[in-house]
């Protein structure tokens, strides 16, 4: 078209112009555009615009390619076309989409969601080939969801975007009644730092379908309340956002311009439980304004720091806010108030609830940084007592008053574990914490090592003044109140506090007592000489008992000098002199317990080099298992600058041995790894002129394979396995010392009857090559001597074979020397594994197998009895679930233990449970509880006993009855005045003592009857399970064993565990 008729159009220019219709570009399809051809598009066509009717996009020619101005600049095409009518439930778009770009035909492509990632995700993306799928989430609103996906070509870095869309929910079939929002005011002000509280009735029908929206977008669902902290228009929908909307419900929340702040915290009395006629008091702390209370998200109308709740309509969630006019702060924590069907209440005497020895209701000395000793006296069984700082559980005692609080609400809640009675509370609320008044942390002085079994500890206040003193042992309060105490338990932690005249308590001072008991050190010569030559260098070495030493003090006269300051030194003798001159060497050592006596050694000097002499300082023959070690040692005389060299030989000879390069001292720790017999000897050479030598005797090491890796054999290995030295530990965990000293298990290793023990192996059938070995938990500390009493090479053995072990006498204390087992508890006891190894074929052509006994030596109770002649077996002192802090030999309800059904890993009822009948308890045994659940031996997976213990068998329990003196204890009849009244309280006590070292209480049982579980009385009846039966104990007979016990499997009895070996 010629405009104005003045000039002809330029080549390729096409123009249609109308003064009313605007500008219309030339229109053509992609095919028509491509038909122009590259040759037709010369430089004069640069910038040519067209409207592509195929892509409905404006495009221009940049002299190289057509550039689209729609959805990016690449020429990417997506096949099939994007989904634009995806269903609200997410279905309707299951295709795989493939992108192609003529400018980048081989890819790869980057494919990503640009907007709408909250509505859909990509799947099965193949970047190399440009393919992908898209998975839409469910659209729970009435609004259409759109997702924009961008495909970028790697060749050109250009992209194109594709729009996918999903339909909104059709509300036609979703008809629900819409609740009314509270508060009723349509326009609500939001104060900075505060909130607006919106709610609907908590009992709204179909609450799970309710959706809270802000500006039409979902912000919460399925809840009856919403806390708004951002301005906007809030409403509720039902079923889907935008459906069933009541426009009258819209609440327009706008910024009010005011500010409010609060750190309100609330707590409830009695754990928030409305119980019987009792009320629950809610208390708010930390508020700076008027406290307003909310119930289930709705303002209740009550104000004030406390509110008392009663009745069923108080059940629900409560919180508090600070209110200033129309401003509401952020909410406090929430507490849940519940209703219990119980009617009674746990009894709590205010005088039993003590803080630092003072009743809580009268205590006022809350000092910042000070300590509070929280105690409840006369606790009831079956009740849990918990202390709180406000809402926070206090998990440690004593409790440090926080430096971050200005007030404290200290509470103690007593809760009935069975739920029969309502909880009870003792508390003080919002008591002021005074700052800077607690005494500074004191210091505990005194030796951290027990010397000869004791040490004195003294608490020294940081500032002089008048104080009272409180001591703790492993966090348990002690009765001592003096500044200095004498202690005798190793391996524990003592702490102490001081209290000033105002009642403020300091922080804890701490003193850790070493685990090893010591004494004043004693020195002996390990390497010495009584002669030397002038100018020689003599090496002297001491051995120490009750080491290690902190320091050694050496001295020498007559011109000799000392090089070194440890247990081993070198003495440089004077260069010349007259024969017969004596150099006197002295040494002493100091440890935590003091200074040793001086050890002296006179050395006569001569001008000639002496010939040394050696003697054995360790046993000439020792047994050891592969992987363990033994020590061989020599002592010498007439040593002069000696050098030592140890040799290993294959025969009992002092010649032809192999040099042990690292063995150049007077002693050597030999650690063989392979079984066999080894021979060692030592050659010492004096360093003076002449180099005279001496050879030690031959030391024999008999090394057996580690027996623990051998298969377990049959037969019986018997002997004493538990020793209680009964010297120092006097506590609930180890038993009362006075009681333990009277038991047959009390052990004094200074007596032959204790330190010399015989261990007997009785084979099952005929075996061969029976021999014994042992493994100590601390090498060289337990066994003094060990003798195999049989012939280890003998065959055709069918009769008992024995070994004799002599234990070291220093395991027990004597003559002021503290024994090495003093203070050892069950967890750190000395242990000795005694193995019998034998060949399981009579002729010795079978395989080696083993049986093991583990011997425990400690300062702690040994409970047990004989299950066969000469076979003493250790039992746990208490039934499983019993209160192990109680004396296991004094009958009480606390040692009855839990009640197990046969074959179960966990108890059916806990100790102290109600005696009321329990429903749903039939005599039918479930299929998952076969007889094999617990027995026979070895221990089964369902056996509830801890590691190292198992449930005993019928045969072993019969052995208890046949091999021990059995004594009845206490009153065991309902006619007795001290009859059991089992309602959490034991009025009478009864049971049977086996041999003075094992006690079974009459603890009752549970018997299934008529779909219920009745309590079989605890006054004259008890029982313990066996792994193949049941042992019952009553007032009329000691024990009756029911083999198999299938008729009793659904009853519930106690479990008493026996050591596995």
Q: If pLDDT is split at 50, 70 and 90, which confidence band does 527 have?
A: confident
Is 697 part of any domain? yes
Number of H helices, E strands in the chain: 5, 88
Q: If pLDDT is split at 50, 70 and 90, which confidence band does 582 have?
A: very high
Pick from 19-23, 481-485, 512-516: least confident: 19-23
How does the average pLDDT of the chain come out, rounded?
85
DSSP H helical segments within 706-848, as ranges?
Answer: 737-741, 752-755
261, 409, 278, 275: which is closest to 322 by C-alpha? 261
Pick from 187-201, 364-378, 968-982: least confident: 968-982
Can you give the pLDDT at residue 3?
46
927, 1058, 895: which is closest to 991 by C-alpha? 895
Can you give the pLDDT at residue 929?
66
Q: If pLDDT is split at 50, 70 and 90, which confidence band does 979 have?
A: very low
Give the model confidence (pLDDT) of 770-798 as tens digits: 999 888 887 678 988 888 898 999 999 99
Can you give the pLDDT at residue 725?
93
682 touches 634 (CB < 8 A): yes
Is 979 part of any domain? no
Can you give the pLDDT at residue 987?
35
926 pLDDT above the threshold of 90:
no
Statement to judge: residues 350 and 430 lie in one domain? yes
For residue 427, CA distances in Å to 352, 362, 384, 386, 388 come to 13, 10, 16, 12, 9
Work out whether the CA dihedral 721, 727, 731, 737 comes out positive or negative.
positive
State percent of the chain over pLDDT 90.
44
Domain boundary among 35, 50, 68: 68
Highest average pLDDT, of 244-248, 353-357, 732-736, 940-944, comes from 244-248
Q: If pLDDT is split at 50, 70 and 90, which confidence band does 147 have?
A: very high
Statement to judge: residues 131 and 120 lie in one domain? yes
Is 921 part of any domain? no
Average pLDDT over residues 115-123: 93
324, 337, 141: which is closest to 243 by C-alpha? 141
Q: What is the 3-state secondary structure (H, E, C) of 17-74?
A: EECCCEEECCEECHHHHHHCHHHHCCHHHCCCEEEECCCCEEEEECCCCEEECCCECC
CATH code of the domain containing 602: 2.60.40.10
Which residues, in sequence order, are CB contacts of 662 under 8 Å at separation 6+? Answer: none
Can you give the pLDDT at residue 1013?
46
Give the model confidence (pLDDT) of 455-497 as tens digits: 999 999 999 999 999 999 888 888 899 999 999 888 889 999 9
- DSSP designation for 809: G
Taken as a whole, the chain contains a residue count of 1061
Statement to judge: residues 723 and 822 lie in one domain? yes
- Give the whole-angstrom CA distance, residue 700 versus residue 1043: 52
Can you give the pLDDT at residue 92?
95
- Cα torsion 686, 691, 694, 698 to 10°: value is 100
> How buried is residue 149: exposed, middle or buried, by Cβ count under 10 Å (0-12/13-18/19+)?
buried
Can you give the pLDDT at residue 914?
57
Higher pLDDT, 754 or 60: 754
Pick from 184-198, 531-545, 984-998: least confident: 984-998
Which residues, in sequence order, are CB contacts of 1010 under 8 Å at separation 6+? Answer: none
User: 47-51: which pairs have CB atoms within 8 A and are 24 or more residues apart?
Assistant: 48/12, 49/25, 50/25, 50/26, 51/25, 51/26, 51/27
> How buried is residue 405: exposed, middle or buried, by Cβ count under 10 Å (0-12/13-18/19+)?
middle
Statement to judge: residues 55 and 130 lie in one domain? no
- DSSP designation for 837: E
Domain count, the chain: 9
The residue range of the domain holding 487 is 443-518
Pick from 38-47, 503-512, 714-723, 927-936: least confident: 38-47
CATH code of the domain containing 419: 2.60.40
User: 29-32: which pairs have CB atoms within 8 A and are 24 or more residues apart?
Assistant: 29/53, 29/54, 30/54, 30/55
63 pLDDT above the threshold of 70:
no
Statement to judge: residues 858 and 713 lie in one domain? yes
- Cα torsion 713, 716, 719, 723 to 10°: value is 60
Statement to judge: residues 740 and 856 lie in one domain? yes
Is 1020 part of any domain? no
Average pLDDT over residues 958-980: 64
Is 769 part of any domain? yes
705 touches 771 (CB < 8 A): no
Statement to judge: residues 716 and 858 lie in one domain? yes
93 pLDDT above the threshold of 80:
yes
Domain boundary among 585, 606, 627: 606
Can you give the pLDDT at residue 62?
66
Domain boundary among 437, 455, 488: 437
Statement to judge: residues 599 and 742 lie in one domain? no
Give the model confidence (pLDDT) of 879-913 as tens digits: 888 876 676 777 777 788 888 888 888 888 877 65
Give the model confidence (pLDDT) of 350-397 as tens digits: 999 999 888 999 998 898 888 899 999 999 988 999 999 988 899 888
Token pair, residue 372, equals 């509070």
Is 994 part of any domain? no
388 touches 394 (CB < 8 A): yes
Give the model confidence (pLDDT) of 202-218 as tens digits: 999 999 999 999 999 99
Statement to judge: residues 635 and 547 lie in one domain? no
Can you give the pLDDT at residue 916?
57
Average pLDDT over residues 250-254: 96
Statement to judge: residues 536 and 639 lie in one domain? no
307 touches 319 (CB < 8 A): no
Average pLDDT over residues 64-85: 82
Is 701 part of any domain? yes
229 touches 195 (CB < 8 A): yes
Statement to judge: residues 244 and 307 lie in one domain? no
- Give the whole-angstrom CA distance, residue 895 versus residue 883: 6
Is 1044 part of any domain? no
832 pLDDT above the threshold of 70:
yes
Statement to judge: residues 370 and 465 lie in one domain? no
């Amino acid at each position: 078209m010629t405009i104005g008729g003045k000039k002809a159009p330029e080549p390729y220019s096409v123009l249609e112009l109308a003064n009313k219709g605007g500008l219309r570009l030339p229109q053509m399809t992609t095919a028509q555009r491509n038909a122009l051809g590259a040759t037709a598009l010369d430089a004069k066509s640069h910038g040519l615009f067209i409207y592509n009717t195929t892509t409905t996009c404006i495009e221009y020619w940049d002299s190289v390619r057509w550039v689209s101005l729609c959805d990016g600049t690449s020429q990417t095409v997506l096949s099939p076309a994007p989904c634009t009518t995806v269903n609200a439930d997410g279905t309707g778009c299951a295709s795989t989409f493939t992108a192609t770009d003529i400018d980048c035909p081989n890819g790869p492509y980057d494919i990503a969601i640009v907007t709408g990632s909250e509505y859909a995700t990509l799947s099965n993306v193949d970047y190399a080939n440009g393919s992908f799928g898209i998975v839409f989430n469910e659209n729970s609103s009435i609004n259409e969801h759109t997702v924009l996906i961008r495909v970028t070509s790697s060749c050109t870095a250009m992209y194109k975007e594709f729009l996918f869309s999903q339909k909104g929910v059709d509300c036609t079939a979703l008809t629900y009644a819409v609740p009314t929002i509270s508060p009723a005011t349509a326009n609500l002000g939001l104060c900075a730092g505060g909130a607006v509280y919106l709610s609907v009735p908590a009992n709204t029908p179909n609450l799970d379908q309710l959706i809270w929206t802000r500006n039409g977008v979902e912000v919460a669902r399925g809840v009856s309340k919403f806390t708004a902290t951002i301005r906007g228009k809030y409403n509720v929908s039902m079923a889907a956002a935008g459906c069933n909307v009541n426009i009258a419900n819209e609440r327009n929340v706008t910024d009010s311009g005011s500010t409010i702040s609060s750190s309100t915290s609330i707590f409830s009395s009695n754990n928030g439980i409305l119980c019987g006629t009792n009320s629950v008091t809610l208390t708010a702390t930390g508020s700076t304004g008027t406290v307003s209370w909310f119930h289930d998200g709705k303002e209740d109308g009550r104000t004030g720091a406390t509110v008392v709740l009663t009745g069923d309509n108080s059940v629900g969630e409560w919180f508090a806010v600070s209110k200033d006019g129309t401003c509401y702060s952020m909410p406090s924590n929430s507490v849940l108030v519940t209703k219990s069907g119980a009617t009674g209440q746990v009894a709590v005497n205010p005088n039993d609830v003590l803080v630092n020895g003072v009743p809580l209701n009268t205590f006022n000395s809350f000092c910042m940084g000070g300590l509070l000793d929280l105690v409840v006296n006369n606790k009831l069984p079956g009740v849990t007592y918990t202390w709180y700082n406000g809402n926070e559980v206090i998990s440690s005692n004593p409790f440090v008053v926080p430096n971050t609080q200005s007030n404290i609400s200290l509470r103690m809640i007593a809760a009935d574990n069975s739920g029969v009675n309502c909880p009870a509370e003792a508390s003080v609320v919002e008591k002021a914490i005074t700052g800077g008044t607690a005494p500074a942390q004191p210091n505990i002085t005194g030796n951290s090592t027990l010397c000869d079994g004791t040490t004195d500890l003294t608490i020294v206040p940081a500032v002089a003044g008048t104080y009272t003193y409180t001591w703790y042992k492993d966090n348990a309060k002690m009765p001592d109140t003096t500044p200095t105490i004498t202690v005798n338990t190793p391996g524990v932690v003592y702490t102490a506090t001081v209290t000033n005249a105002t009642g403020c308590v300091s922080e804890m001072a701490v003193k850790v007592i070493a685990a090893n008991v010591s004494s004043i050190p004693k020195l002996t010569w390990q390497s010495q000489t009584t002669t030397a030559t002038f100018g020689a260098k003599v090496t002297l070495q001491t051995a120490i008992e009750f080491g290690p030493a902190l320091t050694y003090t050496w001295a020498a006269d007559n011109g000799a000098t000392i090089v070194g300051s440890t247990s081993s030194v070198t003495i440089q003798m004077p260069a010349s002199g007259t024969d017969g001159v004596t150099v006197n060497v002295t040494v002493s050592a100091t440890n935590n317990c003091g200074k040793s006596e001086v050890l002296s050694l006179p050395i006569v000097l001569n001008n000639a080099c002496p010939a040394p002499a050696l003697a054995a300082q360790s046993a000439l023959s020792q047994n050891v298992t592969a992987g363990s070690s033994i020590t061989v040692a020599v002592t010498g005389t007439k040593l002069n600058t000696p050098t030592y060299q140890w040799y290993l030989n294959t025969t009992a000879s002092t010649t032809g041995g192999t040099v042990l390069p690292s063995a150049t001292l007077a002693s050597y720790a030999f650690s063989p790894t392979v079984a066999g017999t080894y021979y060692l000897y030592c050659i010492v050479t004096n360093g003076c002129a002449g180099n005279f030598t001496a050879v030690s005797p031959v030391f024999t090491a008999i090394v057996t394979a580690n027996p623990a890796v051998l298969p377990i054999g049959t037969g019986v290995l018997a002997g004493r396995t538990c020793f209680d030295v009964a010297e120092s530990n006097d506590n609930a965990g180890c038993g009362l010392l006075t009681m333990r000293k009277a038991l047959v298990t009390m052990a004094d290793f200074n007596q032959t009857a204790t330190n010399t023990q015989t261990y007997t192996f009785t084979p099952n059938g005929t075996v061969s090559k029976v021999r014994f070995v042992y493994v100590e938990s601390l090498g060289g500390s337990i066994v003094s001597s060990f003798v195999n009493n049989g012939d280890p090479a003998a065959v055709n053995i069918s009769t008992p074979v024995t070994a004799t072990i002599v234990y070291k006498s220093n395991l027990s204390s004597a003559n002021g020397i503290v024994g090495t087992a003093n203070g050892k508890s069950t967890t750190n006891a000395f242990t000795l594994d005694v193995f019998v190894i034998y060949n399981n074929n009579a002729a010795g052509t079978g395989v080696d197998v083993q049986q093991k006994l583990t011997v425990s030596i400690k300062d702690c109770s040994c409970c047990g009895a004989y299950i066969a002649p000469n076979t003493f077996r250790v039992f746990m002192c208490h039934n499983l679930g019993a209160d192990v802090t109680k004396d296991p030999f004094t009958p009480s309800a606390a040692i009855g233990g839990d009640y197990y059904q046969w074959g179960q890993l966990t108890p059916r009822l806990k100790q102290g449970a109600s005696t009321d009948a329990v429903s749903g308890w039939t005599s039918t045994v479930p299929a998952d509880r076969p007889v094999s659940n617990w027995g026979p031996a070895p221990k089964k997976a369902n056996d509830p006993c801890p590691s190292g213990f198992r449930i005993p068998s019928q045969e072993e329990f019969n052995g208890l009855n046949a091999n021990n003196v059995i004594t009845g204890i206490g009153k065991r009849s309902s006619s007795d005045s001290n009859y059991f009244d089992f309602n959490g309280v034991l009025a009478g006590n009864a049971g049977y003592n086996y041999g003075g070292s094992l006690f079974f209480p009459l603890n009752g049982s549970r018997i299934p009857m008529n779909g219920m579980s009745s309590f079989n009385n605890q006054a004259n009846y008890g029982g313990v399970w066996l792994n193949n039966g049941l042992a019952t104990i009553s007032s009329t007979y000691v024990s009756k064993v029911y083999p198999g016990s299938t008729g009793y499997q659904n009853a519930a009895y106690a479990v008493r565990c026996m050591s596995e070996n």
